[in-house]
Amino acid sequence: MDYQAVLEEVAAYARPLVRRGRVADYIPALERVPADRFGIAVADIHGAVHGVGDWEVPFSVQSISKAFSLALVMAQSPGSQGEDGIWKRVGREPSGTPFNSLVQLEAENGIPRNPFINAGALVVTDRLQTLTGDASTSMLEFLREESGNPDLAFDPAVAESEAGHGDRNAALAHFMASFGNLENPVPSVIEHYFWQCAIEMSCRDLAVAGGFLARHGLRADGSRLLEAREAKRINAVMLTCGTYDAAGEFAYRVGLPAKSGVGGGIIAVIPGRCTLCVWSPGLDARGNSVAGAAALDHFTTLTGWSVF
Catalytic residues: 63, 66, 193, 244, 262
3-state secondary structure the chain: CCHHHHHHHHHHHHHHHCCCCECCCCCHHHHCCCCCCCEEEEEECCCCEEEEECCCCCEECHHHHHHHHHHHHHHHCCHHHHHHHHHHHCCCCCCCCCCCCCHHHHHCCCCCCCCCCHHHHHHHHHHHHHHHCCHHHHHHHHHHHHHCCCCCEECHHHHHHHHHCCHHHHHHHHHHHHCCCCCCCHHHHHHHHHHHHCEEECHHHHHHHCHHHHCCCECCCCCECCCHHHHHHHHHHHHHHCCHHHHHHHHHHCCCCEEECCCCEEEEEECCCEEEEEECCCECCCCCEHHHHHHHHHHHHHHCCCCC
